[in-house]
Amino acid sequence: RKISERHDKVFATGCMNPEEAAKQPRANAAFVVLARNKELEGVIQSIKSIERHFNRWFHYPYVFLNDGEFEQDFKDTITNYTSAPVEFGKIDNTMWGYPDWVDHEVAREGIRKQGDAAIMYGGMESYHHMCRFYSGFFYKHELLQKYEWYWRLEPEIKYFCDITYDPFIEMARANKTYGFTIAVKELKETVPNIFRYASAYKRKHNIKSKGLWEMFVEPQPEKQDSGDDKRAKTLPNEILQTEPGHQNIEDIDPENMEGEKYNMCHFWSNFEIARLDWFRSREYEEFFDMMDKSGGFWMERWGDAPIHSLAAGALLAPRDIHYFRDFGYRHTTIQHCPANAPARQLPHIPWYEKTTEDEKERKEEDDYWAMPDPPKENGVGCRCR
């Protein structure tokens, strides 16, 4: 097999001709934007940026979603900033808010406590609902049913570089499932028990790592009983109002996650390009359902980013993931700048080192990565500014 089949590499070096690329057929894909009316200004900024750097050539449609109704002014304004098709949808209470198997009062109390503990967004009920929606529901929304791929867009983001090829088409061609541009560490106090449950899911379904799980495991687990382990061994199950079974971790997983510890790494999900059918798969659904039934979306403040990431860790292989190292991207204070990312950057994460056993392939691989980096102006990214 060729190296390119095994390794994730940049899809394009420097600038392509976007007008040529745009003559090719489109993927079955859309931008997905969850937003509130009051975020109009931030959404305009994001649309301007993605239109200028990409969508003025490619005209991919937008799907706007909201748990409330979009105001007419919001809709009219947005449609003025793009010539691409735009749809606006409402999220109903089957996808947002407390399901009936949850005791609302216990959940509210849990959220209140997180607020008192000054956990980032911990005391904000709507933020918990948003994270759960993006973890287990957006891909089931009726407006997304017709799509195979999505590109997540948030208010107040910025693209720095021109994107002069179609990333959906390249993802499909390279047989990729999930694409990211920034990976960061999660705030520990938002997810004290998330890894315990994700790990239990793996064992319950007898899932063997395909090489990506290791990305999320602390290489040298600290000694047991360091301060961290004072955390609860399980999430309180009073949150479960009715029957859907005990979800105490001891019942699911008697071994209770000996040995492995989450390193807090996750793909930053405010940017994502991914296949919807992966989220719609039985495996992902089972994963989400188990995480959901633990109550962690309320009793802790599990983000959709670590949820997507740990699901990828359990279910996908390194070759299924694409790192968009050529996308200049910024959200709030964190950014990715392609000028710092040579085309053949070797990430220092274990799964890259484990991808082959074959000696000859291994050498070929090492030689390839050992080649000097191209000069910056020939690196990845196009007209970054």
**Which burial class, exposed, middle or buried, applies to 291 when counting CB atoms under 10 A from its CB (0-12, 13-18, 19+)?**
buried
- How far apart are alpha carbons 74 and 36 in whole angstroms? 9
SS3 state of residue 36: coil
Nearest Cα to 163, choosing from 323, 24, 51? Answer: 51
Contact 129, 111 (CB under 8 A): no
User: Which residue, 154 or 326, has its beta carbon nearer to Mn ion?
Assistant: 154
Burial class (CB in 10 A: 0-12, 13-18, 19+), 372: exposed
For ligand GDP, the closer of residues 31 and 165 by Cβ is 31
**Could you say whether residue 189 binds ligand GDP (CB under 6 A)?**
no
Which member of 272, 285, 361, 377 is catalytic?
A: 272
CA–chain centroid gap for 122, Å, is 20
Task: Give 51 or 162: the residue with its C-beta nearer to ligand GDP.
Answer: 51
Instruction: Give the contacts of 85 (CB within 8 A, at least 6 positions apart).
Output: 61, 62
Type of residue numbered 47: I
Shortest Å, Cβ 182 to ligand GDP: 12
154 vs 162 by CB, closer to Mn ion: 154
∠ CA 7-32-277, nearest 5°, is 55
Exactly one of 24, 28, 126, 340 binds ligand GDP (CB under 6 A); that residue is 126
> Of these, 130, 212, 240, 252, which contacts ligand GDP (CB under 6 A)?
130
Residues 276-335 that bind ligand GDP (CB under 6 A): none
Give which of ligand GDP, Mn ion, none residue 67 binds (C-beta under 5 to 8 Å, depending on kind).
ligand GDP
CB of 130 to ligand GDP, least distance (A): 4
Site string for Mn ion, 136-175 (x = CB under 5 A): ------------------x---------------------
For residue 256 the two structure tokens come to 């209770």
User: Does residue 36 bind ligand GDP (CB under 6 A)?
Assistant: yes
Nearer to ligand GDP, 57 or 267 (CB): 267
272 assigned to active site: yes
Residues annotated as catalytic (active site), given as ranges: 272
Name the site residues for ligand GDP (rule: CB under 6 A). 34-36, 39, 66-67, 126-127, 130, 154-155, 270
